[in-house]
A = this chain, B = another copy of it.
């Protein structure tokens, strides 16, 4: 099939890009996604399967069914030359305007005046801990991949994760400081 159905979403291109690393099942794509682009693009399982089907019906990937014993049969997907072309075209497009980084946490903090001070402090401390944990994870990955030349570009994206995690941690500290100051002023 090669329908002119080329309204691909970013997640489509993410999946298509992962297929450049070789022939894979949906499950493989999902695992690879989690381990590689997971810290800035984390599609749901069913979404990955749906996109693979779409890529196939658009002629950007080819599918091949494989029977297995002892575990469910699977379908392996491989990027086609048209797929590589579509991917490259997308990569070359100028990057879209800045995406506001959605944050439920920040949203709650915005309405902080509506809840008790100490609850807010706990929430910020909790958030800080999670960011520190994330930072540790990313640092562990960094030591693993930093000397692997074939992972140069993934390494750059890891650096982005590190930068944001560090920024989040020091922002949390700043907020905790400001909250303490405010508390002192109001309860002198």
Interface residues of A, Cβ cutoff 8 Å to B: 10, 13-14, 17, 20, 36-42, 84, 87-88, 90-92, 94-115, 119, 123, 126-127, 130-131, 134, 152-154, 156-157, 159-160, 163-164, 166-168, 170-171, 174-175, 178, 182
Can you show 5 pairs from A to B with CB atoms below 8 A apart?
A17-B107, A20-B111, A40-B107, A101-B101, A111-B153
Number of copies: 2
Complex CA gap A177/B144 in Å reads 21
Q: Which residues from B are CB-within-8-Å of A84?
A: 114
Q: Are A110 and B154 in contact (CB under 8 A)?
A: yes
Q: Which residues from B are CB-within-8-Å of A107?
A: 10, 13-14, 17, 37, 40-41, 157
Given A37-B107, A160-B106, A170-B163, are A115 and B92 neighbors across the interface (CB < 8 Å)? Answer: yes
Q: Which residues from B are CB-within-8-Å of A38?
A: 100
Minimum C-beta distance from A12 to chain B (A): 11
Given A39-B100, A95-B105, A101-B40, are A114 and B175 neighbors across the interface (CB < 8 Å)? Answer: no
Q: Are B110 and A36 in contact (CB under 8 A)?
A: yes
Q: Chain B: which residue is nearest A131 at the CB level?
A: B98
